[in-house]
Amino acid sequence: MADLYAHVDETQLQEDASSSLLTYGTKFHPDIIIHAKGIYIYTASGHRMLDWTSGQMSCLIGHGNPEIVEVITKHATSLDHLFSGMISPPVISLAKRLTNLAPTGLDKAFFLSTGGESNEAAIRLAKFYTGKFEIVGLSASWHGMGGGAVSAQYHSGRAGYGPVLPGNFALPAPNAYRSIFRNSDGSHDWRTELEYGFSFIDRQSCGSLAAVIVEPILSSGGMHPLPPGYLTALKEHCERRGMLLIVDEAQTAIGRAGDMFAFQHDGDGFVPDILTLSKTLGNGIPLSAVVTSDEIAKFAKEADFTFYTTHINDPLPAAVGDKVLEVVVRDGLVERSSELGIVLQAGLRQLQERYGCIGDVRGRGLMAGVEIVADRTTKEPALGLGDRIGKRMTELGLWAQLGTMQSFAGVFRIAPPITISEEELQEGLRIMEKAFADTEGTMPLCQRGTETTVKANL
C-alpha cells in the first residue's frame, strides 16, 4: 500500500500522542490511522475497515476522491486564500450552483469553515433580522461549539462551563421510539408533543422569540428523523410568533438522507428561512454555508449585518464544494442514496428480526441508526453490550460509531459515503451480522411457528 505514513513507528506515535495531545471530549481510537481511500480506512498495523461514518460524517463522495484531489492541488497552486472582502470565481460558482439547486426562498449564500461557525452566523442573522434574541432548540440537538450554538443545543456539554447565553429554550426532541406522547393506536403523537413544548416556551419567553434551530435528522441525538410534516408544523408555530426557522443540515444535505436537502422530505411547500450546510458540502475539507432568502439578504446588506471572519468565502474550499455538488448531480448520487438506503434499512431490519438486543432501526437514505437495548419491552439501554458489539465490528473490519451519551441511549450511527457500492454495503451488513453472532448477550431470536423466542447466549 503506497502511503505517506506506511513506515511509521506506531508505538512511538502513541507515546507522543499521550504526552502532547489535549483531549477534547472523546476517547481516541486505539489505533493510529495512516491512510484513507474510497470507503476504507487503514491503521498503522495494516488493518482495513469499512468507514461507515464517512470520517466525521463528512466524506460524502469518499476518501481521496480523485476529482477532489485534483481541485485541491490546482487551487493550492493558484488560488488558495484571499483577503476576506475579495471574491473569486470558485466562490461565485459555488454560490450560483448551490442556490440553483435549492428551492426559491434560499436565494443567497456565503461560506465559512465549520458547521458550528455557520450556525453561529445563522443565529446571529436571525437575531439581527428579527430584532429579538431568544433561540429555541430541540432537547437532543447538536449545533456546534461556539457560544450561540452551544447555548442552543442540549445533547451534551452544558455542565461545568458556567452560564450559557441568556434566552435559550428547549422543545422536546421528537423520538418515535421512546416518546411518552402516544396516539390511541400507540403511534407517536408528535403534534401534541410539539404543542405541549411550545406551551412551555410561551410561558418562559420574555417576548423576544427570534428563531428555532433544528436538524432534519437528529444525528448526535441518536439518528432520529423528524416525523413527516414536523417541519411544516414547526414553521407555522414560528410564523405565529414572528420567529425564523433555521434548518441545520450539517450531516443530512447533498443527498445523504435521500434528498438533495433533507428538509425537502417534508414536502414541496416547506422552505426554511435560513439553511446551514457543512460536513457533506466539503467532503471532509472545512467548508460550511449559510443560505437565506432575498428578503433577509436585502435587510442584512442594507442594515450592515456583520459576520466577518478570516476564512469567509475562501476560494480553495469553495472550489471543493463546487466540485462536490457537480459530482453529486452528474452521477445521480441523490437517487443512488435513496435506493441504497432501502437496501440498508432492509438489511438492518433483518438483523433486528434475528437479535433481540436491537430495539429500533431508523433513518433515511444512507443515514441510519440501530439502537441497542437490554430489553425490548422496557427499552432499557444496553451501553456495555453495544460497546462490545462495536469492538467486534471494528476487529472484523467495520467502523460504525456507537453513541453512549445519555441522549443517545446507545445507538450505532451509520453514514457511509454515498458512493458506496451495493456489494460494499452488503459486505458491511455481513460484518455486522458476524459481530452480533460473536458477541455474548445479543439475544439471538429463533422462529418457531408464529412465535418468536429468545435463545440465550448470556
Catalytic residues: 142, 215, 248, 251, 279, 413
How far is it, in rounded angstroms, from Cα 153 to Cα 162? 15
**250: which 3 cell numbers?**
450539517
> For 97, what's the count of Cα atoms within 13 Å in the CB-facing half-sphere?
23
Give Rg (Cα) of the chain.
Answer: 22
- Beta bridge mates, 213: 246
Burial 202-230 (b: 16+ CB within 10 A, else e): eeebeeebbbbbbbbbbbbbbbbbbbeeb
DSSP 55: H
How far is it, in rounded angstroms, from Cα 373 to Cα 393? 17
Amino acid 209 reads: L
Burial class (CB in 10 A: 0-12, 13-18, 19+), 67: middle
Amino acid 423 reads: E
Taking alpha carbons only, the member of 125, 144, 139 closest to residue 210 is 125
Task: Return phi, psi of residue 208, to 5°.
Answer: -130, 45
Helix (H) or strand (E) holding 35: strand 33-37
Pairing mode, if any, of strands 209-214 and 134-138?
parallel
